[in-house]
Amino acid sequence: HARALLISTAEGATDYIDADLHDPETVLREAAKTLDLSRPVALTLMQVSGHIADYDRARSIVGTLMDALPSGSWFAFNDSVDTNKANAEATRQYNESGAVPYYLRSPAELAGFFDRLEMLAPGVVPLNDWRPDPAEGDRSTEVIALGGVARKP
């Protein structure tokens, strides 16, 4: 499905990496076939770290990926948080369904993915509070995911 959505142009290339995040070296090797990893790039990990059971391993994977990228590269990240009871219950039911398990993290753990990086304002916040449009008015106050964007110094 992802490959069908990708169309390269004369201005640039688009690609999809079919790899396991548990193997960051393969991810980097495959990315280097399309991207010039000597120049700043953006790494986006949206709602994927929860599929890595061990928090320290998840941070190590992100560290390996970011260490391979040059200064000036960006990291955009979000994931589900363990502070919402309804979300925790939905995740429990999902995990019992036989699907690939998902592990919720604490706000402090999610913030830990940005260690050694320069956070862009407003920092690690609920997704609906990240650069909100004032014209939208009231937004949901139920926090089920936090995210942020940071730059590698």
Fold of 2-151: Rossmann fold (3.40.50)
The per-residue pLDDT for 4 is: 58
- Please list the rounded mean pLDDT of every run of 10 residues in the chain (153 residues): 62 81 96 94 95 97 98 98 94 94 97 98 91 68 90 99
List, in order, residues 6 or more apart from 134 with CB less than 8 Å away. none
Distance CA 82, CA 151 (A): 26
The per-residue pLDDT for 138 is: 62
Distance CA 101, CA 33 (A): 31
Mapped onto helix, strand or coil, the DSSP state of residue 81 is strand
The per-residue pLDDT for 115 is: 96
Domain spans of the chain?
2-151
The per-residue pLDDT for 14 is: 76
Distance CA 4, CA 79 (A): 26
Q: Residue type for 145, please?
A: A
User: What is the maximum span of the chain, computed from C-alpha positions, in angstroms?
Assistant: 48
The per-residue pLDDT for 130 is: 83
The per-residue pLDDT for 3 is: 60
CA distances from 130 to 3, 18, 153 (A): 30, 29, 22
Predicted structure pTM score: 0.88
